[in-house]
Amino acid sequence: MLEVSAIWTAQVQQQNYRALLDAISHPGWVKSILHQAGSPASTAVLATLLDAEVSLADPEGLLEAADWPLLQASTAAPEEADYILCMGSKAAQFQPRLGSLPSPEQSATLIICVDSLHEGELKISLEGPGVNGNADCAIAGLHPDWLSQREDWVCGYPLGVDLLLVDDSAVLALPRTTRVEVV
Amino acid sequence: MAYVAIKGGGQAIEGSKAVLEYLRTRQGECAQPLQADTIQNQLRLLHGRVLSEGGVYHPRLASLAIKQAQGDSLEAAFILRAYRSTVPRLAETDLLDTRNMRITRRISSAFKDIPGGQMLGATTDYHLRLMRMELLNESPERFRAVSGEWFKDLNVDEIPDTFPKVLQQLRRDGLLAPLDEQRAQQTPFDITREPMIFPVPRSAALATLARGEQGSLLAIAYSNMRGYGDVHPTVAELRVGYLPVFLPHPITGKPMEIGEVELTECEVVAMYEADEEGGKPLFTLGYGACFGHNEVKAISMAILDRSLQNGVQHGPGNPSEDPEFVLLHVDGIESMGFCTHYKMPHYVTFQSDMDRLRATQAKQSQEQGE
Amino acid sequence: MSLAQQFGFLDEYAKKEIRRTSLKAVAIPGYQVPYSSREMPMGRGFGTGGLQLTLALIGEGEVLKVIDQGSDDSVNAVNLRAFIEMTCPGVGTTRVTGEADLIQSRHRIPEKPLREDQLLVLQVPYPDPLVVVEASEEKRKQLHGEADYSRLLVKLYEDIVKFDEITISHRYPTRINDHYVIDPSPIPRWDVPKLHMSKALVLLGAGREKKIYAVPPYTKAEPLAFEDKPFRVEAFLDERGRRRACARCGCDSSFLDEYVDSNSGHQVYRCSDADWCDEQLTRRSAPEVING
């Protein structure tokens, strides 16, 4: 646990960025996120990635009001946003940006808060770039509809979305290239 | 042996720095190091060029960059540009209106007389390019006397601060489209923060040209003037002067003047085009502006702005109308960096080249032997 | 007046943009993600793209290796390393591949296989392999999106018709994860297979062209080729068709630099990867192998 406000420092953001880079390079890896006591790890993830150049949608109002000015990001509807903060227990009610064929990066990154990335009722097996063979994960607090919605969003590769699943202290990434099977 | 040449790189770099420093100072015992003020004033056109290509209006650091670069304008602009990467952006100005420029020179080649009058100001346009041998041994006293006496007989109060714009007249007469006030309120594309993904808006093109390298701009604009294009510009107005810069007051929010920048601005009028929505045909406009006093750059930019707009509208018919061709090749920092990089070791790639050539040669002799 | 020094030279906003861009690059393997690319105090073309990545990636306590042409002592490697040491206090540097957390390189991938916990940053002058067949970036982006590389294959085929060989020596077009074809930076063909299913993440940065792309770990990286004209790495065969060995360490399975010995006038071959050569030398203490 860190002092309040440490997630806004350059040093912690560099370390959290590397955790995110590791996570997205190795789908299935659960990487620890340095975060404030009493504040969700998702806020630390946002603090690492966002600034005034990008927009954030928070349809469930998960982010503390005091954190908005620190993030500097503009607000946007989920259909328009660069980043979307979501609640894993509730299926998505929106259609995120998927990018375009010439510019697939102009797509949304979803930060989905779940209960646990270490154990849970949802057992999945991953395959694809970054995964050596396959990787098994167990997640708690992710509504099963997320995975089928994700299927719809990523089926037109290179268009798609990238998911960052975050529990209270760690992150697991599902980039658009990962093939997910429920086991 | 030859292959140790690659080692000891650190030592070689230190040695190279030392010899460069020696060359900067080798004038001898009675030499005076160049003062930043001297560069800013006596080499003012070089100075303006570096300010403009460096993209940071910092006169003192531009002087330092010129001194450090030993007069290489590309290198000096580069030093200034790299400095920019380390400083945060604190605020953005609102749209600045060049009608408020404190003019030192303005001309129009479209009209014999213009509201406010032609004002030739400082230009070498009508000077004979003859050597002024007397400057080789200039007396410091005479040198100082020129500027000392300059304002003596001038009635400063009689000189107007600003002049109306020539384009205002053309707009009033319905020969040019009215100012698009709504578009003026749009946030311009920021080439320093956003990658250019083509097609890009006109503001991205203008910003790129404004920081562009003078020679590159001139070469491409010249190709259009000569016949690889047909802008056929008329300089409606060229003005040089100082533009007041306003920032909102941190507490009251009211715009307050924080200083001024020297600017050259050029507006060219080009051949008229039919209005797509059935209105009357109108003249078209090309716009150029850059930091410092640099008329060649401002005119080149105005021509390129026009040719690029032609290209966007009708499809590029020649290089100067192709936004990718123009905008990706006019930045001096990028082009000179890449040009100089060829001096770096390329042993590995050349080894691969030799491997391919030998394989191809071997194959051919094999076939010929058969 | 002094240059305000913050860790990593770049301001934090610039780093954030590079970080966001690199995550997208990993998520879309081989796709060139545009970014705004700040000016660095060294020339465009001298590794500013790689350098910006390194500065955004690296943190205190990490160990960095910088290579140019396989050597840590090459002028440009020295220059970049000195700049990083100056702007990133607390970062260690090494010449030993196995000791590095992060490796920034120009033109080579180390011979020693990289590990999962290591990261390779490659400097890229020309990011787009399609530029030889299509000048317009707008059109190239469409071709990449559709994975339409037919014109590139035609170009390779024309080579074969003309020379009976694929003549591309380095920057060999390589297809990543069955979709995007990348320019793997001017590494020799020798290094291309190292990208395939690499354990380490490879990030590629083109500063002047303002693009970042990636080959994630455990990802397919396949050089373009034809069934009857397979991709071939540099051969290093002598006149009798035997594999040449390094004159210093005796290794006959590394990429070699070729020199003319100024004393004898003969060609001499030595490992291009300086650290690899040292390691082989210590391991084998092999006698000098004179090139025949």
Contacts of A51 in chain C (CB under 8 A): 13, 16-17
Measured between its terminal Cα atoms, the distance across chain B in Å is 41
Looking at chain C, the whole-number percentage of residues with pLDDT higher than 70 is 96
Query: Does residue C1 surpass a pLDDT of 50?
Result: no
Q: What is the mean pLDDT of residues B268-274?
A: 86
What is the structure's pLDDT at C28? 98
| Residues C216 and C264 both lie in one domain | no
Q: A167 Cβ partners below 8 Å, 6+ apart?
A: A41, A113, A114, A115, A116, A117, A118, A141
CA distance C204 to chain A (A): 14
Query: Per-residue pLDDT tens for C213-228?
Result: 999 999 999 999 988 8
Q: Which domain holds residue C273?
A: 240-292
Residues C178 and C281 in one domain: no
Residue C84 domain flag: yes
| Residue C67 confidence class, pLDDT cut points 50, 70, 90 | very high
* Residue C197 forms part of a structural domain: yes
pLDDT band at B7 (very low <50, low <70, confident <90, very high): low
| pLDDT (average), residues C278-282 | 94
In tens, the pLDDT along A100-110 reads: 999 999 999 99
Distance, CA of C18 to CA of C260 (rounded, Å): 43
Q: DSSP assignment, residue C192?
A: G
**Cα B260 to Cα B90, B197, B293, distances in angstroms:** 17, 33, 14
Mean pLDDT of the region B98-113: 91
**Is B86 close to C258, i.e. CB distance below 8 A?**
no
Sequence length of chain B is: 370
Structure letter (DSSP) for residue C29: T
**ipTM given for this complex:** 0.97
Residue B358 DSSP symbol: H
Assigned domain for C157 exists: no
Strands (E), chain B: 102-107, 234-248, 255-273, 282-291
C252 & C113 share domain? no
Q: Do C206 and C273 sit in the same domain of this protein?
A: no
DSSP category for residue B34: P
Report CA-CA distances (Å) from C33 to A56, A174, B104, C128. Answer: 20, 19, 46, 11
Residue A16 forms contact with C (CB below 8 Å) = no
CA–CA min distance A31, chain C (Å): 13
**Could you give the 3-state DSSP secondary structure of residue A55?**
strand
Of C108, C101, C53, the closest CA to residue C80 belongs to: C53
Is there a single domain that holds both residue C196 and residue C259?
no
Examine the domain organization and report whether C106 and C218 are in the same domain. yes
Domain spans of chain B, in order of start: 14-84, 98-125+163-337
Distance, C-alpha A51 to centroid of its chain: 16
Flag whether C150 is in a domain.
no
Above pLDDT 70, what percent of chain B?
Answer: 98
**Distances in whole angstroms, Cα of residue B291 to Cα of each of B57, B248, B262, B266, B297:** 7, 22, 6, 12, 10
Q: How far apart are CA A91 and CA C165, in angstroms?
A: 55
CB pairs under 8 A between A and C: 104
End-to-end CA gap in chain C: 60
Residue C185 lies in a domain: yes
Q: Are residues C273 and C197 in the same domain?
A: no
| Residue C277 designated active-site | yes
C245 shares a domain with C127: no
**Total of domains in chain C:** 2
> Is residue B6 pLDDT above 50, yes or no?
no
Using one digit for the tens of pLDDT, what is the confidence trace for B133-152?
A: 999 999 999 999 998 888 88
Q: Would you state the pLDDT for residue C292? A: 39
So where are chain A's domains?
6-182
pLDDT at C125 exceeding the cut of 60: yes
Contact C165 B2 (CB under 8 A): no
Give per-residue pLDDT as tens, A22-60: 999 999 999 999 998 888 999 999 999 999 999 999 999
pLDDT in tens, A117-135: 999 999 999 999 999 999 9
Domain shared by C274 and C200, yes or no: no
Q: What is the pLDDT of residues B189-245, one digit of tens each?
A: 999 888 999 999 999 999 999 999 999 999 999 999 999 998 889 999 999 999 999
Cβ(B58)–Cβ(B79) below 8 Å = no
Mean pLDDT for B314-331 is 96
Q: Which of C8, C50, C249, C251 is catalytic?
A: C249
Is residue B4 over pLDDT 50?
Answer: no
Nearest chain C Cα distance for residue B26, angstroms:
26
Instruction: Specify whether C199 is located in the same domain as C255.
Output: no
For chain B, the C-alpha Rg in angstroms (whole number) is 25
Q: In what order do the strands lie in the sheet with C102-106?
A: C33-34, C211-215, C201-206, C119-123, C102-106, C63-68, C92-93
Residue C45 pLDDT level (bands cut at 50, 70, 90): confident
Helix-helix angle B44-54:B73-84, to 10 degrees: 40
Domain membership of residue C264 (yes or no) is yes
Please check whether residue A34 is in contact with residue A8, taking contact to mean a CB–CB distance below 8 angstroms: no
Q: Indicate if C251 belongs to the active site.
A: no
CB C130 within 8 A of CB C152: yes
Query: Which residues in chain C have Cβ-Cβ distances shorter than 8 Å to A132?
Result: 217-218
Q: Which residues of C touch B213 (CB under 8 A)?
A: none
Q: Which of B194, B344, B353 sits opposite C76 (nearest CB)?
A: B344
The answer to whether the CB of A182 falls within 8 A of the CB of A123 is: yes
Same domain, C98 and C215: yes
Does the domain spanning A6-182 belong to CATH 3.40.50.11310?
Answer: yes
Collect all residues with Cβ–Cβ distance below 8 Å to B276 and sequence separation of at least 6: none
Residue A102 to residue C17, Cβ atoms within 8 A? no
Confirm whether C246 is a catalytic residue. Answer: yes
pLDDT surpassing 70 at residue A163: yes
For residue B101, what pLDDT is reported?
A: 94
The stretch C31-40 carries a mean pLDDT of 94
**CB-based contacts of B141, cutoff 8 Å, min separation 6:** none
Task: Name which of B351, B365, B366 to mutate to probe chain C: the one with the most chain C Cβ atoms within 10 A of its Cβ.
Answer: B351
Rg (CA), chain C: 20
Q: Any CB–CB contact under 8 A between C173 and chain A?
A: no
Q: How confident is the model over C188-212, as pLDDT tens digits?
A: 999 999 999 999 999 999 999 999 9
